[in-house]
A and B are shown apart, each in its own frame.
Chain A
Amino acid sequence: MTYCYRKLYLSTQYMKIIFIILGMLLMSQNLLADISSEENKKVQASQFTKVVADYKLPEVNVVRQDGKKLSFLKELNDGRPVILNFVFISCSAICPMLSHILSKVETQLTKDGQKFHLITISIDPENDTPSALTVYAKKFDAGVNWDFYTSTREASLTIQKAFKAFRGDKMNHASLIFLRPFAGKSWVRLEGFMSPDDVVAEYNAMLKTQ
C-alpha cells in the first residue's frame, strides 16, 4: 500500500498576513534583533512523504562505533523496533539536521519508556571510522539506544541499495528515515522535511497498527 501526503499547517496567503502582522509587531517593539524560534515555528510547514515498503536486506558485516564487527541483520533483528537513517560526517546540512531530529526522537521515546533501536549507517564509510562516529555520536548526545555503523564501501552501498536510498553518490543523499516495528514486518519510509514530533507520531502510529 502506498500513499503520500503533504502537511501544510497554513496556507501561503495566511502566512503572508501573519508575516506582515508579526513584522509590524516586532518593528514597533524594536525587537527585530531577536526573532525567536517559536515565532518561526508557527509559519513553518512539514513536508514529507510516507511510503510503506518491503526491502530485501543483505547479510553484510558492519562495524559499530565501539569498533565491534557485527552482522547487520542481527543488529536489525534484535527484537526492538528500529528507526534507521543514513548520514556522512562531512555532510553540512541534511545529515546534521537528520541527526538532530533523531536525537530529539531518542529523548522523547526514552521519556515515553519505549524500547527501540536507532541505527545510523555511514554512507562515507572509509572516512567515517568508528572513532570518528563516536565523536559524531557525542556531538548529537546519542544515548544508549542509538548506534552508528561503518563498514566497507561495498557493504554500505549494498545496504543503501537495499533500502532504495542510493542515488549514485554520497553528495546526492536524501532526507530519509526508516521505521520498522519488528523483523518480518514492512518498513515505513519517511522522506523530506519532518520534525521530531512527526517522526515520533509516525513511530507511535506504526506500533499501533501492528
Chain B
Amino acid sequence: MSSKIVDSLNIDLKSLDRKSKRGLFSVLLVTMISLVGVEISAASPNPDEVEIGRKIYMEGVLPSGELLKGVRQGAVQVEGAQAACETCHRRSGMGSLEGNFAVPPITGRFLFANEDDRPLALVDTRQPKDITRAHKPYAESTLSKAIREGVDVDGKDMNLLMPRYALNDNEVKAVTTYLRQLSSELAPGVGNDSLHFATIITQNVKPEKSDVMVKMLKAAFGQRNSSQQTYSGRMRMPLDLIPRQLRKWELSVWELKGEPETWAEQLSEYYRREPVFAVISGVSNGTWSPVSKFCQQEKIPCLLPSVALPPDEPSFYSLYYSKGVALEASVLANHLRAKDKNKPRRIVQIYRDDEVGRGAVKVLSEALKDSSVKVENRIFPEKLSENLKNIFKGLSSNDTVMLWLKPTDLVAVNKENHKQFPRVIYVSGFLAEEDYGFVSKEWKEHVRVVYPYELGEKRRKNIAGMQQWLKSWSIPLVDQVFQSEVFFDVLLLTDLSSQMIDNFYRDYIVERAEDMLGIGSNFSAYPHLSLSRGQRFASKGAYIGRFGSDGKLVADSEWIVPE
C-alpha cells in the first residue's frame, strides 16, 4: 500500500534529505492509519504479524523490505542480519552469552509473566547464581521502550551491546507478537515426567558396533535416571539445587533397513509412533543424507552421530564430529601441496563406488585441481573375488596412492600387492577404524594414515575416563574412537539438559551445544572439539601418521587444518 502511495505522489525517496523523509514518513503514516479502517472493511488480507515479526527478529528485514537499523554502544550503527535480534537472543529467544555479558531470554514467557510464574533459565553457566533476573513483568509499552530506547522495565539503561532500534509502532507490535509465540510450548518428546530420545542405526553396521552403542547409551541413561536429584549426593552445586521437573530419559533405537531411499518413510513411521525430543549418537557405514534431511524437516536436533561422510548440505539441526573423509581429503591435499618440490607427480585414488568413496575422491580431486599433482581415480571391484590386478595397472614403486578403503579391502590389496607396491600408500583413518592388521612388514615404511584423531599420551589421557566408565558397566571396548564419540555424546547431553533446566526447546539445545561443546573436559579421541554459531563440524583437522618402530601410529606432521 505504501509503495502505491509513494508511486502516486511520484516522489524519489532517495533524493530527499533526512528531514524531508521524516516529514514524508509522518504524512504517510497518518495516511496509512486513516486507511487501515478502509482496508479492514474491504477484508483485504492483512500481512501475518508473526511473519513480519519473524523477519525482523531472524533476518533484520522490515516489512518495507528495508534493513532493520539500530545503534549499538551509542555510536556503532548496525543493520540487517547484524542487527537482527537473533544474533544475540538466538533463534530460540533463550539468549546467549556474549563474552562477559549474559544476553537474557526474551520470549513471552520470560518477558510478560509475573516473577512467580516466570520459568527459570541459566544463561551464564559460570554464574549459576544468576538464574532468571528479577524484573517487573513487561507490558507492550515498556517493551517498546526497551527495544527503541534501551531502557528496561525498571527504568534502567540496558547493556550497551543491545542496539537501540529504529522501529515504528507496528513493527514493534509485530516483534512483540513474534516473541509471545516463540518457544512457548515444550517440544515433542518432552513429557511431564519423561524426555524421549532416539538413536539411529543404518543397515550394514557391524552388530558389535551397534550393540555396544546401544549398551552404552542405555547404561548412561540408566545412570542419569537414578541420580538426577543431586550431583554425587552433594548439595553444593547451585545448578543442582535449581528446582526442576524430574524427567526420566527414555531411549528408542531406530534401525533403518533396506535401500536409503526408503529410510525417510521408516523414520517418519518411527517418529509418528514415538515422538522424540532429539536424536543422540547414531551410526552409519555409508550415507547419512536421508537422516539429516529428516532431522532438518522435522526440526529434530541430531546430535553428533558417527558417520564417515556427513551430507554436504546446510542444516541447522545436525551437528557432526567432523566432515569425515571429506576432511581427510582436504587435509591430504594441503599436505601434498606443502611438499613443494617433493610433491608427487600424480596420486592415484582407489575407492569403492559408493557415496563415501565418491565423496572423498571428489574432494581430493577438486582440492588438487590447480596444482602440479595429477589425480587419477580408479574404482575398486565390487566383489573381492574379482581380479585386483587391473586397478594397479601401470603403478610403479615411484607412485603415490590414496586408498579410500576399509580394512577387509586393504587386506586384499596388501595380499595382491605385497611384492611391488607404491612408494607412498595413504589410507583413511576414518575408514581404517583403528584396524591396521593390513599393514604388513613390507608395507610398514610406506603407509601413511590421514588421521583425524589425537595420538599418543594426550589421546590416552582423553579416553581414560571412558575406559574406566566402560569397565564399571562391564561394557567391552570394541572400537575406541567410536565409543569415545558415544561417550562424549552422553556427557554433553547430560550437561546440556542440566543447564537447560526445564526449557526443553529444540532450537535451544542446538544453540547450547554450539556454545558449550568446547567447554569442559575433552573425553573424546579428538584433540579439540568446538562449535560456534553456524559451525556444524566440531573437529577441523587431522595428522598424517606413520608407524613407528614399535608398530604404533605416530604423528608425521603437525595438526593440519585445511582451508
The complex places the Cα of A36 from the Cα of B56 at a distance, in Å, of: 18
The complex places the Cα of A33 from the Cα of B149 at a distance, in Å, of: 12
B168 within 8 A of A: yes
Report whether A101 and B532 are in contact in the complex, using a CB–CB cutoff of 8 Å: no
Report whether B22 and A47 are in contact in the complex, using a CB–CB cutoff of 8 Å: no
The complex places the Cα of A37 from the Cα of B168 at a distance, in Å, of: 15
B98 within 8 A of A: yes
B30 within 8 A of A: yes
A124 within 8 A of B: yes
Chain A residues with CB under 8 A of B562: 129
Report whether A30 and B30 are in contact in the complex, using a CB–CB cutoff of 8 Å: yes
- The interface of chain B, by Cβ under 8 A from chain A, is 18, 21-22, 25-26, 29-30, 71-78, 82, 87-88, 96-101, 103, 126, 148-151, 155, 157, 160-161, 164-169, 515, 518-519, 528, 530, 532-535, 540-541, 558-559, 561-563
> Contact partner of A93 among B75, B150, B151, B161, CB < 8 A?
B161
Report whether B148 and A93 are in contact in the complex, using a CB–CB cutoff of 8 Å: no
> Contact partner of B22 among A34, A93, A129, A195, CB < 8 A?
A34
- The interface of chain A, by Cβ under 8 A from chain B, is 12, 15-16, 19, 23, 29-37, 40-41, 43-47, 88, 90-94, 96-97, 100-101, 124-127, 129-131, 152-153, 167-175, 193, 195-197
**Chain B min CB distance to A103 (Å):** 10
Closest 3 CB pairs of A and B: A44-B74, A33-B168, A90-B532
Chain A residues with CB under 8 A of B88: 92-93
Chain A residues with CB under 8 A of B87: 92-93
Report whether A126 and B541 are in contact in the complex, using a CB–CB cutoff of 8 Å: yes
> Contact partner of A16 among B155, B166, B518, CB < 8 A?
B155
6 contacts between A and B (CB under 8 A): A46-B73, A92-B88, A92-B98, A94-B99, A153-B528, A172-B126
Report whether B533 and A93 are in contact in the complex, using a CB–CB cutoff of 8 Å: no
**Chain B min CB distance to A33 (Å):** 4
- With A30-B29, A100-B76, A174-B100 as given contacts, are A126 and B532 in contact (CB-CB < 8 Å)? no
For the A-B complex with A29-B26, A96-B78 known, give 7 more contacts whose Cβ atoms are closer than 8 Å. A32-B168, A34-B25, A93-B88, A126-B528, A126-B530, A126-B540, A129-B562
Report whether B515 and A171 are in contact in the complex, using a CB–CB cutoff of 8 Å: yes
The complex places the Cα of A16 from the Cα of B157 at a distance, in Å, of: 10
> Contact partner of A19 among B25, B76, B151, B166, CB < 8 A?
B151
The complex places the Cα of A171 from the Cα of B100 at a distance, in Å, of: 9
Closest to B27 in A: A30
Report whether A101 and B155 are in contact in the complex, using a CB–CB cutoff of 8 Å: no
The complex places the Cα of A21 from the Cα of B131 at a distance, in Å, of: 36
The complex places the Cα of A58 from the Cα of B74 at a distance, in Å, of: 36
Report whether A41 and B75 are in contact in the complex, using a CB–CB cutoff of 8 Å: yes
Report whether A97 and B530 are in contact in the complex, using a CB–CB cutoff of 8 Å: no
Chain B residues with CB under 8 A of A130: 563
Chain B residues with CB under 8 A of A31: 22, 25-26
**Chain B min CB distance to A92 (Å):** 4
> Contact partner of B532 among A40, A124, A167, CB < 8 A?
A124
Closest to B170 in A: A33
Report whether A41 and B74 are in contact in the complex, using a CB–CB cutoff of 8 Å: yes
- With A94-B98, A94-B99 as given contacts, are A169 and B519 in contact (CB-CB < 8 Å)? yes
Chain B residues with CB under 8 A of A126: 528, 530, 540-541, 561
The complex places the Cα of A172 from the Cα of B26 at a distance, in Å, of: 44
**Chain B min CB distance to A12 (Å):** 7
Chain B residues with CB under 8 A of A174: 99-100
Closest to B148 in A: A35
Chain A residues with CB under 8 A of B528: 126, 153
The complex places the Cα of A78 from the Cα of B76 at a distance, in Å, of: 31
The complex places the Cα of A167 from the Cα of B126 at a distance, in Å, of: 11
Chain A residues with CB under 8 A of B155: 16
Closest to A98 in B: B76
> Contact partner of A91 among B22, B75, B532, CB < 8 A?
B532
Report whether A41 and B71 are in contact in the complex, using a CB–CB cutoff of 8 Å: yes
Chain A residues with CB under 8 A of B561: 125-126, 129, 152
Report whether A15 and B76 are in contact in the complex, using a CB–CB cutoff of 8 Å: no
Report whether B157 and A195 are in contact in the complex, using a CB–CB cutoff of 8 Å: no
Report whether B534 and A90 are in contact in the complex, using a CB–CB cutoff of 8 Å: yes
The complex places the Cα of A15 from the Cα of B151 at a distance, in Å, of: 11
